Amino acid sequence: MIALGCDHGGLNIKNAVIKYLEDKGIEYKDFGCFTEESVDYPEYAFKVAKSVTNGESELGILCCGTGIGISMAANKVKGIRAAVVSNEFCAEMTRRHNNANILCMGGRVSTEEEAVKYADIFINTPFEGGRHNRRVDMITAIENETYTI
């Protein structure tokens, strides 16, 4: 399951990603928003982040105007590694190396076609593990305030 969320600035690209998921038969849950009325992105970041950390969804996709604000909010939830992506290389590498569990994109940054491409790469790229496990574990230690130098 993929959890989806957006604000008014990311609605167009979220809808493009939904069409892609439906075409591919990939299960998703859309946490809103559903119209172009101005809304507050932290609400959708929180709902999608919780769906990922409680195990309901394997991955999340969040969209706002830039992808930045919604990523900042999502990254405040323990266990979330949300990555802002605006090119194909980063869409791939943030799964391979960072084990990112939420993809964040901007509707005022990326076209619908680009957003779908980044989502496709993100969903289909595995975490490499190995030496990257240690680094991701260090991020978790910082989050848990157990990190020591």
Binding site for ligand RB5 (CB under 6 A): 7, 9, 41, 64-66, 68-69
In angstroms, what is the minimal distance from the CB of 138 to ligand RB5? 27
Nearer Cβ to ligand RB5 (71/94): 71
- Indicate if 8 belongs to the active site: no
Nearest to 96 by CA among 45, 136, 56, 137: 136
Nearer Cβ to ligand RB5 (16/99): 16
**Placement of tokens 């991701």 in the chain:** 136
* Candidates 6, 33, 64, 90; catalytic one: 64
In angstroms, what is the minimal distance from the CB of 65 to ligand RB5? 3
Query: What are the strands, taking DSSP E only, across the chain?
Result: 2-6, 28-30, 59-64, 82-84, 102-106
Nearer Cβ to ligand RB5 (71/99): 71
Q: Which residue is nearest to ligand RB5 (CB)?
A: 69
| Cβ neighbours, 10 Å, residue 23 | 9
Nearer Cβ to ligand RB5 (28/41): 41
- Indicate if 64 belongs to the active site: yes
What span, in angstroms and rounded, lies between the C-alpha atoms of 17 and 145? 36
- Tokens describing residue 43: 């609400």
Coarse DSSP helix, strand, coil percentages of the chain, rounded to the nearest 5 percent: 45, 15, 40
Provide the annotated active-site residues: 64, 97
